[in-house]
Amino acid sequence: MKYELMDVRLVAEPSAALDAIAAPPELNLNEFTRGLRQFGIVLNPVKMEQVIVALTRQNARARQRLRRAFVPGADTRATVAITQHVESRASTIAKVTMRPKLNELMNLSMSQTQKLWQGDKTLLDTLKKNWETIQKDPNANEEQKTLAKREYEKYAYMYGKTNPTGGAKRGNMYYNEAARQLAFLDNNKAIEESDYATGKVASAIRSYTSMLQLGASFATGALNYIGAITNGIPYLATYNPETAFGGGFGFGDSTIAFSVALHQVGLRRALLTKGGMNTAEFFDRVAESPQLLKQYGLEKHEAQFLAREIREGVMIPAQSNALTATSRGRATTGIGQKTMDTVMWTFNSTEQASRRALGLAAYRLAYRRAKAGGLSDKDAAISSRDFAVESLRFTVGEYSVVNRPPVWKSGIQSFLYMYKVFPTTSIQLLSRLPRQGQIAMLTALFILGGISAFPFAEDIEDIVDTIAQGLGFKSGSIRGEIAKMVDQIVPGVSPYVLSGFANSVFVGDIGVRTSLGDFIPGTGLLLAGANTTRELQEVGGPALSFLTGTATAMVDTIKAATSEKVTLLDVLRESPATMARAFGDAYAYTQAGAIIDKRGSIVSQDVHAGTILARLLGFYPEAASSEYNQIRVAKRIADYQREVSSGFQRAWIKAKIMGNDDQANAIVEAVDEWNEGAEGTALQIRNFSRNANRALREAERPGMERFLRTAPLASREEIEAATLLLGYGD
């Protein structure tokens, strides 16, 4: 045997370490641990605990289904049994169907799998060479060049994100994330929700919250169409070569394709079609009938695409299903389920129509390009389907629990994320679009709601005002300052800049419903004069709002039945149900002949048939919203001025009572210094010395005497007599 000496160079390669296990749940625990011992593999206690828990939990569901009490017979609620069986079987089938593919994907001993996670430099070079060759080919058309270029750019983007230049490789990091996702799915019975969310109490709260807040409202339904336009059209029309994101089909073709698809498979056609267009079986029949294809304006492969995506769950009401599907088993009768479907019809039907129209438009545009690029019918259909499904996920959202950040997947905090999927999707979409697409999307938001509708606009406003107040700036509201600046440039334009142009032509407030400005809850908690209860309810999420609203409604209902102070109309206007409030408001407006708030005070005299109709549809009157926006700015400034003034006053009184005249004089000087910068504005502190001396005289009175001076005159004598009888007086 001959040995040869050679030099070997070891190069350190920074990369994330593997720290997650992706073991198939079918694996027997004994076999697994025996394999560990055989190969001398030692797991630390934390990892061993995860393995044991994962592999012993696989049959827990079967054990839990056994009846523990000696109760004869089965559950007679057939509707509950059927719906729960359908949901559990659907999740089981999905897991079993995908398990072989997932096992292969997570098997790092396979070279092909390693290339999927770490990137394939050979494939990258091949795609680049193919693109360069086609670019130089005089016989290649533009579509062929575009396809080759996009294919290379997409893989180059993924490869670059996995293997950043000068940074640590991220392949293992992505693998760890995927392993944790699979562990979460394996440890929960459903694939669309966690076990916590499918529990009896949690699912009921989620279901009723969504039904009462989203159901029966045409306004919330209209948002599905608006979202498909503001998000979908910029995505289809533009393309970002840096992130390989978007369609790049142009605004004209994208708008036409969406309009045509909406006409063919949208809500109007679905309502007029006998038997409806809601099922995959319907489109299966269309695909097999040349007459039906012609009638509905579809090609066979398009009908097959629609049927498949309906079965896959891509083109069904995703938001509603995510909120109510896991609790359908809680509806114990067919009537209960029909009621749920009826209440949610306005939202479900519009979401379904917009998703199918946008998906079909994306599929058609991609298929047309693929065919022009020389792909076969089969390959064109496959690539076009992938693009269409991605289009829906990136624009109108993907609502399964796997798509949420880990902290919001389970537990009570999952309620906070109930309505955050679409805003999160929209913000992520805006960040990835090219400049042209971002301008288009921001323009749409600006028209609908002004700069207040831009992502985080209201959150930033609250934070800026909070910081400004904390630092003692002579400005009470950044919104007010922007309005002044805009009005100096173009007088009279500031309402449109701040609140959009749509509200000027529509009697309902559209901007507040399409806005992405108020995304982070509780940002106004530290502002002067903040409504702490309302801010904390916002932090608590829609479920907390529903629960507190329900409790209030129950109390008000009892008061309405036993007292003249509360009426049934008051109960309706405070109801946790969105459309109950809308009906109550509309009725109150007709009775008063004006827009009145819940206390009965007039907000605006601008009320007519259009205002009533808009409120019945679920839109808040624009005239009232405009008034409240003005009041909001004025109140923020007034609250800030009041807090500053009372702060100086309290400090001055303490100094005087403690006999510290030097400190009191210093506070007066501080007030004068404040007024130098705030003179002539709403923040100026007027008559400080006179008001402070009056407050000092009150502070020097005994506590009971101060209280009597603030009590109503009619009750002072009786209160004073009661305190004497109780021994609290002289």
Choose between 726 and 537: higher pLDDT.
537
Which whole number is the average pLDDT over 374-395?
95
Considering only 121-125, 189-193, 341-345, 607-611, which range has the smallest mean pLDDT? 189-193
Rg (CA), the chain: 32
The torsion of the CA quartet 615, 619, 624, 629, rounded to 10 degrees, works out to 170
- Whether residue 130 is contained in a domain is answered as no
Lowest mean pLDDT among 110-119, 396-405, 548-557: 396-405
Same domain, 98 and 207: no
DSSP class of 187: T
> Per-residue b/e over 421-442, b at no fewer than 16 CB within 10 Å?
bbbbbbeebbebbbebbbebbb
Domain-ending residue, one of 593, 623, 653: 623
Which pLDDT tens digit goes with each residue over 333-353? 667 777 887 888 888 888 989
Domain assignment present for 440: no
Per-residue pLDDT band at 375 (split at 50, 70, 90): very high
Question: Which secondary structure element, helix H or strand E, spans residue 259, and what is its range?
Answer: helix 251-265
Provide the domain count of the chain: 4
Strands 602-604 and 595-596: antiparallel
Residue 694 pLDDT > 70, yes or no?
yes
Is the CB of residue 469 less than 8 Å from the CB of residue 640?
Answer: yes
The reply to whether 93 falls in a domain is yes
**Residues 589, 507: Cα–Cα separation, whole Å:** 14
Ranking 96-100, 377-381, 569-573, 668-672 by mean pLDDT, the lowest is 96-100
3-state secondary structure of 373: coil
Angle between helical axes of 457-470 and 478-489 (0-180°, round to 10) = 110
Confidence of residue 329 (pLDDT cuts 50, 70, 90): very low
Note whether residue 442 is domain-resident. Answer: no
Answer yes or no: do 115 and 204 share one domain: no
Domain of 326 in residue numbering reads as 192-433
For residues 25-48, give the mean pLDDT: 72
Q: Are 319 and 397 in contact (CB under 8 A)?
A: yes
Distance in angstroms (rounded) separating the CA atoms of residues 102 and 182: 9
Give the span between the Cα atoms of 475 and 469, in whole angstroms: 8
Helix axes 345-372, 377-395, angle to 10 degrees: 140
Tell me the C-alpha distance between 627 and 519, whole Å. 23
Q: What is the mean pLDDT of residues 590-606?
A: 89
487 and 544 part of one domain: yes
Task: Report pLDDT for 262.
Answer: 93
| Residue that the structure tokens 């800026």 belong to | 464
460 and 563 in a single domain? The answer is yes
Helix runs in 119-141, H state only = 121-136
Tell me how far apart the terminal alpha carbons of the chain are, to the nearest angstrom: 116
pLDDT tens, 227-265?
999 999 999 999 999 999 999 999 999 999 999 999 999
Residue 84 is predicted with a pLDDT of 64
Please indicate, yes or no, if residue 155 is contained in any of the structural domains.
Answer: no
Residue 21 located in a structural domain: yes
Which of 87-101, 452-466, 470-484, 681-695 has the lowest average pLDDT?
Answer: 87-101
Look at residue 66 in the predicted model and tell me its pLDDT. 47
**Number of neighbours of residue 595 by Cβ within 10 angstroms:** 22
Domain final residue, candidates 399, 433, 467: 433
- Going by pLDDT thresholds of 50, 70 and 90, the confidence category of residue 729 is low
Q: 174 and 277, same structural domain?
A: no
**Two structure tokens written together for 106:** 């997570």
Same domain, 369 and 467: no
Residues 417 and 361 occupy one common structural domain: yes
Residues 705 and 588 in one domain: no
Q: Does residue 44 belong to any structural domain of this protein?
A: yes
- When the pLDDT of each residue in the chain is averaged and rounded to a whole number, the result is 85
Quick: pLDDT tens for 488-508: 999 989 989 999 999 888 888
Residues whose CB is less than 8 angstroms from the CB of residue 615 and which lie 6 or more positions away in sequence, other chains included: 508, 582, 585, 586, 589, 621
Alpha carbon distance 26, 688 (integer Å): 77
pLDDT at 182: 84
Dmax (CA) for the chain in angstroms is 117
- Per the structure block, which two tokens stand in for 377? 């019918």
Whether residues 187 and 197 fall in one domain: no
pLDDT of residue 73: 55
H helices present in 396-502, as ranges: 421-432, 435-449, 457-470, 478-489, 494-499
Sequence letter at residue 355:
R
**Mean per-residue pLDDT for 516-530?**
91
Window from 21-35, 291-305, 503-517, 681-695 with minimum mean pLDDT: 21-35
Nearest CA to 616 among 583, 588, 577, 593?
Answer: 583
List Cβ<8 Å contacts ≥24 apart for 477-485. Answer: 477/633, 477/636, 477/637, 477/640, 479/452, 479/632, 479/633, 480/633, 480/636, 480/637, 482/451, 483/633
Coil vs helix vs strand at 502: helix
What confidence category does residue 65 fall into, taking pLDDT thresholds of 50, 70 and 90?
Answer: very low
Q: Confidence band (pLDDT; 50, 70, 90) for 68?
A: very low
**pLDDT: which is higher, 379 or 30:** 379
Check residue 598 and give its pLDDT: 87
**CA 387, CA 254: separation in Å to the nearest integer?**
14
Judge if 587 and 684 occupy the same domain. no
Residue 554, pLDDT score: 92
The amino acid occupying position 130 is N
Strand 245-246 versus strand 602-604 pairing type: unpaired
Which carries the bigger pLDDT value, residue 501 or residue 22?
Answer: 501
554 and 661 belong to one structural domain: no
Residue 294: CA count within 13 A, CB half-sphere: 3
Which residue matches tokens 């949610």?
344
In a domain, residue 14? The reply is yes
Domain limit, last residue, from 409, 433, 457 = 433
Let me know: does 474 contact 678? Beta carbons within 8 Å.
Answer: yes
pLDDT band at 58 (very low <50, low <70, confident <90, very high): low
Residue scoring higher pLDDT (728 or 133): 133
| CA neighbor of 244 nearest in space, from 159, 168, 171 | 159
Place of tokens 């919001």: 408
Q: Which of 583, 588, 579, 632 is nearest to 607 (CA)?
A: 588
Is 645 found in the same domain as 506?
no
Q: Is 115 left (phi over 0), alpha (psi -120 to 50) or beta?
A: alpha
